[in-house]
Structure 1
Amino acid sequence: MTDRTEAVVIVGGVTGVGVARDLAMRGVDTTLLERGSGLNAGTSGRSHGVLHSGARYAEADPEGAADCLRENGIIREIAAGCVADSGGLFLRLAGDDPEYFERKLDACRDLGMEPELLATDEVRERVPEVSDRLEAGFAIPDGVVYPSRLVAATAASAREHGATIYTDAGVTDIEVAAGRITIHTDGAEIVADTVVNAAGPWAGEVASLAGARLGMRPTRGVMVAVERSGIGPVLNRCREPADGDIVVPHGEQAVLGTTSVAVDDPDDFEREDWEVERTLAECAEMVPSLADATVQRTYWGLRPLYEPDEVGREGRGISRDFAVVAHDTAPGLVSVVGGKLTTHRRMAEAVADRVCEDLGVDEPCRTAVEPLPGAGGPERLDELAREFGAVGPADSDVVGE
């Protein structure tokens, strides 16, 4: 069987479904292919689920931080049922660099974020269990996002606007010839004008199927979910990025993260006990009671880090910003790499702009203003998550309760 479509999107994480939605809303005949039995099976479903304000990246990547701040507000508007408005705090403990704290605070102000500088007793009012080593803190508009709901609602919107979504459709080969691309899957052949490679840590492998090269250097990171309610806001350690520097409230649990270790094969990588132990110990520096909390589950996620110049930097030194890459060796193939869950909609818009320019489609992006299906109701969102097989480790404790 051979199908014909204008655009194929590979695969069904939050960026992939975001691209499919954007293209479909602009009238592009779009097909999304996911190799797994459900959506949200990769990076999106294994994140720590923070809806970033941009504060985490403010001094190191102000442009990316500004994208986070803007998209934070958009997601709250179009997908309210996918978000918990927890707020967030940056905490400086004894021994942490006070100059770094001031740089972070100033950078947030420069973004127009309006961080709220708090006295230590004001921090304790918000987080009674915070460490006695607390020396300073400020509040920022972080939140918690539930990827299962967000991916499923975005996929439902793409489908409503005419996109076709296939699961169990692993791509085995991509042929580029005569101004068209033929995609071979496990059970079908699809001919398209353009292909969007949104495969995250697997993007390099997908590009290679078309004879293209993409410099990916994914890293793994552990998330540790512990039994702990009442944390309140997202807690960030105010220091240079390091292991175990974030605590995310999650219903009756808290998700602690994370580590950063380079991996060679995103389908086959080690999961080390030391990562769990270090994450627990470091997060307990902020909230000491976490050291004795019962571990409910652990899961590892992969960051789709892009390193085109392959200069051998450590994982935390590679940009978290995104790039849209057109491949000269595979005309019609466009890859989107890097980025964060918070900025997925902006990433999808950038890709759709490029694809529509190539296809001669002159329609504006509307994804920032049209609410997602079921956006205000968790029950409907959880139904969609189950329908699309999108419930992942990141929020399995919340979705469907």
Structure 2
Amino acid sequence: MKFVLSVVYTMHSTEVLVVGGGGTGIGIARDLAMRGVDVTLVDRGGLGIGTTGRSHGLLHSGARYAEADAAGARECIVENEILRDIAGACIRDTGGYFIRLEDDDPEYFEEKYEACLDHDIPAERLSPEQAREDVPDLSEDVTEVMAVPDGVIYPSRLVAATAADARDHGATILPDAPVTDLFKDDGRVIGAAVDHDVGKIHADHVVNATGAWAGQLGDMAGVDVEMKPTRGVMICQEYEGLDRVLNRARDPDDGDIVIPHADEVVLGTTSVEVDDPDEYETEEWEVERTIEECAAMFPPAANAHETRTYWGVRPLYAPEEAETGGARGISRGFFVLDHDERDEVDGFTSVVGGKLTTHRMMAEAAADAIADRLDVEEPSRTAEEPLYASDDPDTLDALVDEFDIDGPADADVIGSGQ
């Protein structure tokens, strides 16, 4: 006698299913919901726990990319200003310094400064003495300083506020709902099987916003999304009173960013390729090198007490034709992949690459493409309307708990009332 095991799925239907609850995914859900689209978002174990919640939380001014990536730099300064307007207590407006040490290339500093001016990124030269009025503990080796409008993002609050805003506009948010398979019918993705008693979700369109895991979800749809994730370490240390983001003015390298929180700093970071964004080794040399390099411009980093250390994985998109020979050379730009045009798989869009600073812009671009597919004419309004409870830190932190957001990047801030 044969026994047939049958799986019975509970059926849910939605116009758009967004897979991935990081900054970009939850931003897409908010954008589409504000246009009147029926949206469901699923993630596999709490929102913002992937790349978003394990980032260093730098709100880029664009200066980091100014001399090498004009388009990326302009995107950053535009989104920097938008997030300051809409994100309230999800952002700390610190400003930032780019610092040239004695052995760093003066031509690089000059090129960056001129590029900032060319791209409308506010930049002001300061003497080391002027900079030390704000940051007394700067290295004695500082030779030139440039002030730019960098800032700090608190990723947990940002995701929570965006999720609450999406829900307030009608989206369904399921933080603990891992996708186990995608369903296809005649070359079209029509939905997903979702674990943890959610069942089957039928959708007119499915969005792959899974970041470094985009290749894995792409495999379920039968398409190749060429990701090349890299890991980077962040070290949190006790230090009270730093009020500026510090950047080393040199080609991007290990240990060239210091991010201020109220009573801590976050040092970052390294860039090492990994095969699997879930399973990868970490190395002590990454911690040691990051501390050593950050201490070269900010000496207290050499001996400050470490409160936590964590690694994040960047969602770098690197198709074969765009290979550059090194992880740091891969574009930090974002891409919206229409798999109908690209792979003849309809009903499926991937959003890959990008930075936390540009997550809203990424979400708008993806939502525009999907709205066009669904014949939705309502434009995006996410750049104009403030996020839900954005000026209320206590409400934001309660939402962080509600949405099961447990990222280490701002663990010292959540619940502090700051």
Q: Would you say same fold, with TM above 0.5?
A: yes
Give the whole-Å Cα distance in 1 for the aligned partners of 2:171 and 2:381. Answer: 16
Give the whole-Å Cα distance in 2 for the aligned partners of 1:228 and 1:17. Answer: 32
Query: 2:92 aligned with 1:77, yes or no?
Result: no
Return structure 1 stretches of 4+ with deviation > 6 angstroms.
none
Equivalent position SS for 1:225: strand
How do 1:261-276 residues align onto structure 2 when only pairs under 5 Å count?
Answer: 261-276=272-287
CA deviation after TM superposition for structure 1 residue 329, in Å: 3.8
Q: Hey, what does 2:399 align to over in structure 1?
A: 384
How do 1:80-95 residues align onto structure 2 when only pairs under 5 Å count?
Answer: 80-95=88-103
CA deviation after TM superposition for structure 1 residue 312, in Å: 6.2
Q: Hey, what does 1:17 align to over in structure 2?
A: 26
AA in 2 matched with 1:12? G
Aligned residue among 306, 310, 321 for 1:299: 310
Contact between 1:211 and 1:329, CA under 8 Å: does it hold in 2?
A: no
CA deviation after TM superposition for structure 1 residue 295, in Å: 0.9
TM-score by length of 2: 0.94
Query: 2:255 aligned with 1:244, yes or no?
Result: yes
Q: Hey, what does 2:151 align to over in structure 1?
A: 143
AA in 1 matched with 2:234? M
Give the whole-Å Cα distance in 1 for the aligned partners of 2:324 and 2:216. Answer: 19
Structure 1: gaps (5+ residues): none
Query: 2:148 aligned with 1:169, yes or no?
Result: no
TM-score by length of 1: 0.98
How do 1:159-238 residues align onto structure 2 when only pairs under 5 Å count?
Answer: 159-178=167-186, 179=188, 181-186=190-195, 187=197, 188-238=199-249
Query: 2:139 aligned with 1:131, yes or no?
Result: yes
CA deviation after TM superposition for structure 1 residue 313, in Å: 2.2
Q: Hey, what does 2:108 align to over in structure 1?
A: 100
Structure 2: gaps (5+ residues): 1-9
CA deviation after TM superposition for structure 1 residue 180, in Å: 5.2
CA deviation after TM superposition for structure 1 residue 148, in Å: 0.4
Contact between 1:17 and 1:32, CA under 8 Å: does it hold in 2?
A: yes
CA deviation after TM superposition for structure 1 residue 288, in Å: 1.2
Q: Hey, what does 2:6 align to over in structure 1?
A: none
AA in 2 matched with 1:34? D
Equivalent position SS for 1:395: coil
Contact between 1:212 and 1:329, CA under 8 Å: does it hold in 2?
A: no
Aligned residue among 72, 80, 86 for 1:64: 72
Query: 2:405 aligned with 1:396, yes or no?
Result: no
Equivalent position SS for 2:25: helix
Equivalent position SS for 2:147: strand
The structure-2 alpha-carbon separation of the partners of 1:312 and 1:55, relative to structure 1 and needing over 3 Å to count, comes to closer
Give the whole-Å Cα distance in 2 for the aligned partners of 1:112 and 1:380. Answer: 35
Contact between 2:86 and 2:384, CA under 8 Å: does it hold in 1?
A: yes
The structure-2 alpha-carbon separation of the partners of 1:145 and 1:231, relative to structure 1 and needing over 3 Å to count, comes to same
Give the whole-Å Cα distance in 1 for the aligned partners of 2:162 and 2:184. Answer: 29
Give the whole-Å Cα distance in 2 for the aligned partners of 1:367 and 1:313. Answer: 37
Give the whole-Å Cα distance in 2 for the aligned partners of 1:312 and 1:185. Answer: 37
After superposition, give the CA deviation of every residue in 1:125-153 in whole Å (9 maximum; x if it has no partner).
11101011010001000011100000000
Aligned residue among 36, 40, 50 for 1:27: 36
After superposition, give the CA deviation of every residue in 1:310-364 in whole Å (9 maximum; x if it has no partner).
6362110100000000112421110000000010000000000000000111011
Equivalent position SS for 1:265: coil
Contact between 1:391 and 1:399, CA under 8 Å: does it hold in 2?
A: no
Q: Hey, what does 2:7 align to over in structure 1?
A: none
Query: 2:288 aligned with 1:277, yes or no?
Result: yes
